[in-house]
Homo-oligomer: A and B are copies of this chain.
């Protein structure tokens, strides 16, 4: 693998000149830059990133740690991050923490050790390890979920969130207006802020205890089981608010097994406007979140903080909006 001195030797100049020529720095005689370029090409020279980063003490790569690559919400968010980052010359590496605190810690450690320029993360719970990052001067932006309380207190962390509570409230209220009276709520794990907020928003609307609330992992399987269980009990629900699209699949599956038709027999509204939501029968009412915009906003905040580490931290809260379809209309 050719190094800068190989290039220098072949071009008959010093390594300093090669470096300057290749980086378009200061003034190098046009003839020399041509010679250098030719030599570099001939040798298939590729600058050694680690060496360069070691010397410059900086990298042009951002880490994006998301809690579930298989969730379309997060992949849409990732696209938003990439678009903004690429426009500014940064590359984005995607890390999948899989809602697993251990994997999250691991990726955080990698990000720190590789000295990435910054990190965007959707924290998967009672995370630690973020303080370490920020403590070492690596900027962090929290997206979709805030950092756990007590984390990042002393450091400057921006966040980009959705008003989940309000969105859950609107969705629940919508179902009440449609005449549903016993509305259930199937949400994600306790301790995950979006999941907690969706329950709180739901409660704001129904003024009821937790007897119709079920918490499970953010996946189809758990939601399926929760649905079966909810509808097996006496005083079964007549509607359900579902906290994300993976769970919606489990719920719809379960309802079909139970012979219950959404819209007619039971109202259903789910978070996230999945591509297939309009295709099921009847079409699924959803709370659409601006995933891509969230990613863009997070990336912009991160880049801004990289440029100016001392700017005051901000918290951007975006709104979600209800798209009523037949599954919640009698």
Residues of A within 8 A of B (CB): 1, 44, 46-51, 53-54, 59, 61, 69-70, 72, 75-76, 78-79, 82, 86, 91-96, 98, 103, 106-107, 109-110, 112-115, 132, 135-137, 220, 246, 249, 252-253, 256, 274-276, 278-281
Contacts and interface: CB of A to CB of B under 8 A. Distances in A.
Given A137-B1, A279-B280, A96 B79 contact: yes
Nearest to A94: B94
A279 B1 contact: no
B132 A44 contact: yes
Nearest to A256: B279
A246 B220 contact: no
A281 B278 contact: no
Given A48-B54, A51-B50, A281-B281, A93 B96 contact: no
A51 B49 contact: no
A70 B61 contact: no
Contact of A106 (B91, B95, B109): B91
Contacts of A220: 275
B72 A136 contact: no
Given A69-B75, A92-B95, 19 more contacts: A44-B132, A46-B109, A46-B132, A47-B113, A48-B113, A48-B115, A50-B54, A51-B54, A61-B110, A61-B114, A69-B78, A70-B75, A70-B76, A70-B79, A75-B75, A79-B96, A91-B106, A93-B93, A280-B280
6 contacts: A50-B51, A61-B114, A70-B75, A72-B72, A86-B103, A249-B276
